[in-house]
Every structure is written in C-alpha cells, then in structure tokens.
C-alpha cells in the first residue's frame, strides 16, 4: 500500500496539468506532502499557483515567455537544467509523497534537458514516492519505464474557433 508509482500524462489534448492538479488535491486531502515543479513556466496568474502556492512547495522555474522550439535561448536551457537539479534534490530527499514535474516532457522535446537524466530520476526515485511527469511529447523510452501512461487526445477544441484561454479554465 505504500508503493509509489511513476505516471506520465502526455498527448496533444487538454488536461495533463489539470489531472496532476487533481492528484494534488486528493493527496492533500490525505495529509500527503506535495511538490510541483513547473518547467518552462513563470506566471503567477495561473489559478493553480494562486491557490496552492501557500499550501505546498510550488516552484515555477522558467520564464513568462514562450520558448522557441527551433532555437531555445540559453536562459531557457539554464532554467530547465536548474529545475531538473532541484527536482532531483527534492526527489532524493524522500521528504515528499507526491512530486509533479509539470511540462518536463516538453522541456525534453525542446532539448532543454537530457532525456537520460530524467529516466535516471524515474528509475532511482524512492520506493514510496508517487512521481508525475506531464507535457506533450513524452518519449517512448520514458513511457516504457513509467508504471502508468495516459495520453490526452484532442478530438475537438474551441481554440480552433478562435476562443482564447479563459481564466479559471485554461489558466
């Protein structure tokens, strides 16, 4: 009953971070210790940050700008590497029950951090830790290591009609 598993939430559909936030709420309801590290994000206007930042360790370790997939800036690489170092430190501390690495799959896909380094973290996590990795573009190798993989598949989205992200729903 105290075994923790490794989850990956990936795919092009909406709901990866939302599912992870749902796990945070569930874990807090059982007095679990929780950390979320958001790669490539630094926006205090996200509803989850506004609500959770004083209830859990909530780290945003990126910039409040889109990262250029084809040519990421040095600062984006540096921030993602710092986030990965912090994630490894937190995970190895064994002080937490649930750790979420939000958008880490995208950080790998954009070549900001090394896939092998993330797989090493997945393989060496404490036995009781529940580890969640989110973001589109999860690699086949990572999915093979994970205990649970969920793919969010976009079938229809109102963004295609020009509707912008809405406060309280998309952020």
| Per-residue pLDDT reduced to its tens digit, 81-140 | 999 999 999 999 999 999 999 999 999 999 999 999 999 999 999 999 999 999 999 999
The answer to whether residue 32 is domain-embedded is yes
Q: What is the residue range of 133's domain?
A: 6-161
Q: How far is CA 109 from CA 28, 39, 47, 112, 121, in A?
A: 31, 12, 26, 8, 17
Token digits for 60?
């945003």
Number of domains in the chain: 1
The answer to whether residue 1 is domain-embedded is no
Residues 35-70 as b/e (b if ≥16 CB within 10 A, e otherwise) read bbbbbbbeeeebebbeebeeebebbbbbeeeebeee
Q: What percent of the chain has pLDDT over 70?
A: 99
Give the count of beta carbons closer than 10 Å to the beta carbon of residue 97: 18
For 129-149, write each residue's pLDDT tens digit. Answer: 999 999 999 999 999 999 999
């Amino acid at each position: 009953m105290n075994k923790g598993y490794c989850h990956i939430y990936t795919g092009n559909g909406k709901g990866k971070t939302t599912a992870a936030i749902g796990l945070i709420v569930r874990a807090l309801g059982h007095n679990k210790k929780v950390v979320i590290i958001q790669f490539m994000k630094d926006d205090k206007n996200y509803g989850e940050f506004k609500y959770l930042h004083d209830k859990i360790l909530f780290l945003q370790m990126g910039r409040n700008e889109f990262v250029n997939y084809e040519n990421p800036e040095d600062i984006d690489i540096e921030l993602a590497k710092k986030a990965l170092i912090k994630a490894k430190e937190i995970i190895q501390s064994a002080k937490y029950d649930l750790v979420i690495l939000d958008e880490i799959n995208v950080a790998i896909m954009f070549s900001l951090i090394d896939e092998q380094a993330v797989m090493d973290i997945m393989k060496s996590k404490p036995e009781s830790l529940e580890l969640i990795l989110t973001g589109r573009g999860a690699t086949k190798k990572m999915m093979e290591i994970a205990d649970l993989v969920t793919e969010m598949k976009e079938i229809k989205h109102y963004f295609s009609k020009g509707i912008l992200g809405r406060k309280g729903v998309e952020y």
